[in-house]
Amino acid sequence: MLKILQRVNLRWRHAIQLNGKRLKSGKVLTLSTVNPLVKEVQYAVRGPIVIRAAEIEVELQKGVKKPFNEVIRANIGDCHATGQVPLTFLRQVVALCTYQELLKSPDFPDDAKDRARRVLASTRGSSIGSYSDSPGLEVIRRDVAAYIERRDGHPCDYMNIFLSAGASEAIRTVMNLLLTAAGAKPAGIMIPIPQYPLYSATIAEFGACQVSYYLDEENKWALDTNELKRSLEEAKERCTPRALCVINPGNPTGQLLSLENMQKVIKFAYENHLIILADEVYQDNVYGEGERFYSFKKVMTEMGAPYSKMELISFHSTSKGYMGECGFRGGYMEAVNIDKGVYDQLNKLISVRLCPTVSGQVAMDCVANPPTEGEPSYESFMKEKTYVLDSLKTRAKMVTELFNSIEGVQCNPVMGAMYAFPRITIPEKAIEEAKKRGQAPDAFYCFELLEETGICVVPGSGFGQRPGTYHFRTTILPPTEKIKELLTRFKEFHVKFTKKWE
């Protein structure tokens, strides 16, 4: 018996040797056999610097001496992780829907209970633990449509609303629809540079073509139609341009597009037969004096025909704004003027995912259907909402002013969203040192910043930037005192770094 086993083992080892690279390790999937498109995916927001920040946190816990006592994570827009307090009303409604015994408690206001009962009545088995329809619960889709009507002053058909697990899932679903047939030129997706890396990562994963257009840093990161034209014309030989993505308010740049700028962008998209993908997840985060957010749908509608008949898909989320509920993964997209056949295919594609998280749908409903004047929760809700937005506005101004007070640092006003994207001057010797280490100059700068101060930010090269310029993205989310500490540490570091490498 032993001899038989030895012969079988010998044959197996021989088979492994004969079947090439895949079986040398005995693994079906290796780095050489994994989907090559996956290897092209890059996501800087959670990249090497963030991994190193986590390692430093462990080192600090073990008592390793550093020039600082804690890591300040300013790399990602995770509101609650940086200290933002959850909204009471939203959490009450989600809690009531999750554990229905709480509906008997006198500790919860009637308006929260009413909303919870309304949502539960629309679920199967009166439980948010059951699947919803694939586009989401109808009652919540109707609430989202009503929210959009109040925001824009124009009708919204709830059948055009698709709830999603955050805006990211909806964006990926739409990009999948945009792909071209095998053997044809790849679909071209126009995205801003700098951009949120979800877009470049998804384009790479799907084998589509990234068509980059540069935002105008000298004009508060506005969209320049001449730059859009340049980008589009250069791309036509290598792809079939199909969509124009706009992030407004901007991530990572913090800009807010003017009404005039949006009208020009819409005309450009119409003239070049492009679908507009409007990432509007920061629509509540507007800080500029006298500024206001306009949705692409509102602007397009009010421009009249033919623009009002254009294909537009817009996105929103519970993760940003004043809510900051990233973990619930609540969001939606509104798809207007979509071909009926494509609409059916979109529904099919969504059905494969069964349904978005129902607790996330409930959170989205609290954004779309908040307490109204006269209801028990209205005053406390408005107080909490106003506090969050006013605090962010204060920090936006503080960050902009301090960055611009430092020699070698320039920062456009943070007019919206949750980030600043300052431009930094890096000495030539530091650039050469970065090349020796195989790093982008701004990545080298950000690694040094982390090691010396404990500040974790994301290098501009992770978002894209004009050649020869260097930036980094920082959130404005940490509490005011922590932001002050971050800015103080940063200023000291930048002066020291510049002196060391000049």
Per-10-residue mean pLDDT, the chain, length 502: 44 44 62 68 68 90 88 84 88 95 94 95 92 92 96 96 91 88 86 90 88 94 93 92 94 92 96 96 89 95 96 93 86 94 89 88 95 95 94 91 92 92 94 91 93 92 90 90 88 92 84
Backbone angles phi, psi at 486, to 5 degrees: -60, -45
pLDDT of residue 389: 92
Query: CA angle, 256 as apex, 84 and 397 as ends, to 5°?
Result: 50
Backbone angles phi, psi at 264, to 5 degrees: -65, -40
Q: Kindly report the pTM of this predicted structure.
A: 0.86
pLDDT of residue 181: 77
pLDDT of residue 44: 53
Using alpha carbons, select from 177, 180, 267 the residue that is nearest to residue 223: 267
Task: Identify the residue whose tokens are 């507009």.
Answer: 276
Q: Rounded to an integer, what distance in angstroms lies between the CA atom of residue 41 and that of residue 51? A: 17
pLDDT of residue 24: 53
Cβ(294)–Cβ(314) below 8 Å: no
Going by the DSSP 8-state scheme, the letter that residue 484 receives in this structure is H
Cβ(109)–Cβ(93) below 8 Å: no
Query: CA angle, 172 as apex, 241 and 133 as ends, to 5°?
Result: 130
In SS3 terms, 171-205 reads as: HHHHHHHHCCCCCCCCEEEEEEECCCHHHHHHHHH
Q: How far apart are the first and last CA of the chain?
A: 75
> For 32-86, how does the pLDDT look when each residue is reduced to its tens digit (9 = 90+)?
776 666 766 666 556 788 889 989 989 998 888 988 888 888 888 788 888 888 9
> For 389-442, how does the pLDDT look when each residue is reduced to its tens digit (9 = 90+)?
999 999 999 999 999 999 999 999 999 998 999 999 999 999 999 999 988 999
Q: Rounded to an integer, what distance in angstroms lies between the CA atom of residue 465 and that of residue 471? A: 8
Which burial class, exposed, middle or buried, applies to 281 when counting CB atoms under 10 A from its CB (0-12, 13-18, 19+)? buried
Cβ(138)–Cβ(112) below 8 Å: no
In SS3 terms, 238-304 reads as: CCEEEEEEEECCCCCCCCCCCHHHHHHHHHHHHHCCCEEEEECCCCCCECCCCCCCCCHHHHHHHCC
How many other C-beta atoms can be found within 10 angstroms of the C-beta atom of residue 47? 16
pLDDT of residue 327: 84
Q: Helix (H, G, I), strand (E, B), or coil: what is residue 69?
A: coil
The amino acid sitting at 93 is V
Query: CA angle, 408 as apex, 405 and 410 as ends, to 5°?
Result: 60
Q: Rounded to an integer, what distance in angstroms lies between the CA atom of residue 203 and that of residue 211? A: 10
pLDDT of residue 167: 87
pLDDT of residue 20: 46
